[in-house]
Each structure stands twice: as C-alpha cells, then as structure tokens.
Chains A and B, each alone.
Chain A
Amino acid sequence: MGSPVKIILMQHLFLTSSIGVKGVGESIRNRLGHDRLLKTAFITTPVEGDSDQDDLSWVQEDRDGLNNNGFITFDYTITGKTNDQIKHNLNGIEIIYISGGNEFFLKEKGNENNFAECVKELINSGVIYIGTSAGSIIAGTSMVELQNPTDLSILKNPVDTTGFGLVPYTILPHWGSKDFHDRWLSKESFNYMFSGKTPLIALNNYQYIEVIGDESQIIDVRNES
C-alpha cells in the first residue's frame, strides 16, 4: 500500500492595503462569488506589535470590512502558541486573514512556532489568504526594503526580514496616503527601499492584488461599478 496522495491546491490570495476601505471587501466578495458565511481566522498578532497602540480604530474598520461581506471572523493570535496548537485551532477555517500592524513582529512571533509553514499548509489545502498592510507585505519574499526604526525597536536582534515567499514582490501599502507620507518618503525609508533587489508594488488604499497560482492581477475598486 502506497503513501496517501497529498493534493496541493493552487494558492489564492488577496493582498490589500486596507480591507476596511469601502469597496474593497465588497470587491473581494464579488470575485469569490460566495453567497454564504465563510469561517475566517483574523490573525491579530501584527496589531500587538503596532507602534501606535492608542489608536487601533482601523482594526475594527478592517474587521467590519470582512464581517459585512460574509467573512465571519474570530480573533486569533499566534503569540505564545505552539505549531500543533495553531494547526489545531485553525483547523476547518476557510479564510486566513492577516491583519495590518507590524510585519516584523509577526515574523518574530511566527519564528517561534513555524507559523509560515502553517500558512503554506493552509493555502495548499485551499484556504484563501487575505492580507491587509503588514499581512500583505509579509506575503512577499523580502521585507528588508521596509525596515524602519519605529517598527524594529521592540524586536530582537537580528531582525528577520524574510516574508512567507508567496509572491516574488513586496507590497508598499497605503501609497499616496497623507497618513503614511513621512513613513514612505523619508530619506531613511528611501535608502532601505532603493538598496533592495526585490520588485516593489505600491498600492493605494483602493487597490489590491488578487493572486491565483503564480498569476497576479491588480484591481482598483474605484474602477468597479
């Protein structure tokens, strides 16, 4: 008797700047064409590492963007969990949503329980990945271009700057937003970004990338009726 055949499904990702922005969640729902409620794990770990803990209103906006479109969320953090616990707790989900926040913090916590492997196993079994901001950045191969002192100050050294490697580029979220002007256009940020070897794709809050297998497509919800 041979070993069981493992079927690997084509990955399906949605990499957004902000799913809480009007039209983004609706657009993703339309693309999936789902007419039922989807069990969605809302991974909150990047939020724990966010440098501005006094204003986390955007987390609820993103949660609303999901719940209002049939992605019924339950909050989940990987902090302090073992690999087995994560696999057990996320068994049966249909969507894994990685929140915005601090992508390096998520990577650090994920290194303690090999969360990247869990994510890949889930995706290969047909679970759909939705990322917002940090959750979209970490889907890439490299985050070395996005280092900044604010995000790194709470981390161990050396900082791990590798992403999950689901796509061969790195997302720059919230492009053009006044709130992120200094974050993206500072001389220090430019120097990090320009010294990298990775293609960068800057998306504003109305744009996202849908990835099916290794094919990507950019959607701007302002162009959808």
Chain B
Amino acid sequence: MKRIYLASQFYVSGLAISHKISDEQKQKTVFITTPIKYKNFTEAELDWHYKNRNTLKEGGFICEDYDIAGKSEADLVKDLASFQVMYVEGGDPFYFLKQTESNNFISYVIKRVEEGMIYVSESAGSVVAGIDIRANGRPGKNAAKYGLTNTSGIHFINAVFMPHWGLNNKRKDYQEHKFPQTYHEDYPYMFIPNNCYIEITGNSFKITSVS
C-alpha cells in the first residue's frame, strides 16, 4: 500500500512526519535536490533549505543527495534501487517536472512507491505529487518558461496541492496569480498552510496540523 507524506513546509511539519517512518527505512533516504537547481541562490536565500536539512537530520533521516537532471531511466533504476525513502525538496515544480520528461521519473517513482518506497516532500515536491501543477505558476515560475506542454503531476493524490497558504510573503503571488488560476471546474484544489501535511495511505488521505 502506498505511503506518501506531502508537507507544505517540511521544517515545520517534518518531525511529525519522521515519527511515522521506521528508523530502518529512514537510514536509506535519497534527497532529490532537482527542484532547487533551477537557479543559483545566495546563501541568504537558502535559509529554508538548510532548515529542511536540519529537520531531516533531527528526524533521523540519513540522506544522500541526488539530482535527476540529465539522468537516464537506466540511471534512476541503478542509482536509486537501494533507497527506502525518497525526499523531494521544494523549489520550482515546473523546472523539476521538465527534468522528469527525459528519464521517465514519474513512472519510476510510481512503481517504487507501489513496491513500498515512502515518498516525502515539501512545496514543489508536493505540488508535483498532485494531479497537475499549472495553477501554481506565476511570472518567472511557470510552464511556458520551460516549454512544458503537459503539466500533469504524479497523481499520488487526485487534487492540486497549493502550498504555503496563508503565508504573508506568498500573499501577492496567490492574490494576483495562483488563486484565480485555480478557479476552474477541473480538479479539486487543496490550499495547505505551512503547519499542515497530507498523509496518503492507499487511496485515502488525512490532513494533520502540527502546533
């Protein structure tokens, strides 16, 4: 049965998630860095990323970094075979999805999760786990920038994941772009604050808030 944990901001809810995963499984965690590789950050811009890494460490995850960009399908099969947990970092979901096109990453990760690997993610990693990513676009981060014509996600949940809901520094993006972009009769949309994560088991989900 598939097990998936979709965080909005991992350093807020990650410890709660870590308690749901066995120590043995956490020993073999691959940290997918690809979503954060879409640009060069200054150190000051990466505060959230280092907090996520610290939370993983504090939660008992032993991580190895891996970037799927430029990898073939055969590389994925060979390089990721031994991992029991996959953590997908935040960043740019459109850049990340573009990198999955050439190596069939989505089919690979679906197969691995069906076989028992646990998928853990935050922000962009959670967006890509949903049914579609287009509504999360804004100027500078969107499908057109990477020539993405298919914005379909992994479909771990049959809804669109909208992270960082209620966060003041995301208000403008939401008000001007993301929120109106969701107003269609297509998919269900889930607006998830930073203190919440979604746990998916089989075909059902639970939303948990952490204090």
Give the complex CA separation of A207 and B184 in angstroms. 13
Using known A-B contacts A176-B183, A197-B195, determine if residue A217 contacts B188 with beta carbons closer than 8 Å.
no
Contact B175 A190 (CB under 8 A): yes
The count of chain A contact residues (Cβ–Cβ below 8 Å) is 32
* Nearest-Cβ distance from residue B117 to partner chain A, whole angstroms: 22
- A195 interface residue, CB < 8 Å from B? yes
- A214 interface residue, CB < 8 Å from B? yes
Question: Which residues of the partner chain B approach A185 to less than 8 Å between Cβ atoms?
Answer: 179-180, 183
Q: Pick from A175, A194, A201, A217: contact of B183, CB below 8 A.
A: A175
Question: Which residues of the partner chain B approach A194 to less than 8 Å between Cβ atoms?
Answer: 165-166, 171, 174-175
Q: Pick from B159, B179, B185: contact of A176, CB below 8 A.
A: B185
* Nearest-Cβ distance from residue A185 to partner chain B, whole angstroms: 6
How many A-B contacts at CB < 8 Å in the complex? 84
Question: Which residues of the partner chain A approach B185 to less than 8 Å between Cβ atoms?
Answer: 175-177, 204-206
Question: Which residues of the partner chain A approach B201 to less than 8 Å between Cβ atoms?
Answer: 215
Using known A-B contacts A202-B189, A205-B185, determine if residue A217 contacts B203 with beta carbons closer than 8 Å.
yes
- B22 interface residue, CB < 8 Å from A? no
What 1/0 mask marks residues of chain B from 194 to 211 whose CB sits below 8 Å from any chain A CB? 011000010111111100
Question: Which residues of the partner chain B approach A195 to less than 8 Å between Cβ atoms?
Answer: 166
Contact B188 A202 (CB under 8 A): yes
Give the complex CA separation of A181 and B183 in angstroms. 8
Give the complex CA separation of A181 and B166 in angstroms. 21
- B182 interface residue, CB < 8 Å from A? yes
Task: Give the nearest-CB partner of A176 in chain B.
Answer: B185
* Nearest-Cβ distance from residue B196 to partner chain A, whole angstroms: 5
Question: Which residues of the partner chain A approach B179 to less than 8 Å between Cβ atoms?
Answer: 185, 190
- B186 interface residue, CB < 8 Å from A? yes
- A14 interface residue, CB < 8 Å from B? no
Provide 30 A-B residue pairs closer than 8 Å at the C-beta atoms, listed in order of the A residue.
A175-B182, A176-B184, A177-B185, A181-B183, A185-B183, A190-B174, A194-B165, A194-B166, A194-B171, A194-B174, A194-B175, A196-B166, A196-B193, A197-B195, A197-B209, A199-B190, A199-B209, A200-B165, A202-B182, A202-B188, A202-B189, A202-B191, A203-B188, A205-B185, A206-B185, A212-B204, A215-B201, A215-B205, A215-B206, A216-B207
- Supplied contacts A176-B186, A197-B195, A215-B201, 17 more A-B pairs, CB within 8 Å: A175-B185, A185-B179, A194-B171, A194-B174, A195-B166, A196-B166, A197-B166, A198-B193, A199-B191, A201-B159, A201-B188, A201-B191, A204-B188, A206-B185, A216-B206, A217-B205, A220-B188
Chain A positions within 8 Å of B, measured between CB atoms, are: 168-169, 175-177, 181, 184-185, 187, 190, 193-207, 212, 214-218, 220
